[in-house]
Amino acid sequence: MFIALAFLSFADFIQLEFQVLWYYSLFYDPFFLSTII
C-alpha cells in the first residue's frame, strides 16, 4: 500500500516536472522542445 502511494506521488512529481518544462518552453524558450527532440 505504501509502495503504491509512493509510486503515485512519484508519477505526479514527474507529471509536474513535464508541465513546468512545457510552460517554460511556451513562455521563455519557444524552441526548447524542438532542441530536445
Q: How many domains does the chain have?
A: 1
pTM for the full predicted model: 0.43
Domain holding 5, by residue range, is 1-36
Q: Which pLDDT belongs to residue 21?
A: 81
Tell me how long the chain is. Answer: 37
Specify the pLDDT at position 10.
Answer: 80
pLDDT on residue 29: 65
Residue type, 10: F
Render pLDDT for 1-37 as a digit per residue (tens, 0 to 9): 566 666 667 878 888 888 888 887 777 766 655 665 5
- 31 phi and psi, to 5 degrees? -100, 15
Cell numbers linked to 28? 521563455
3-state SS class at 18: helix
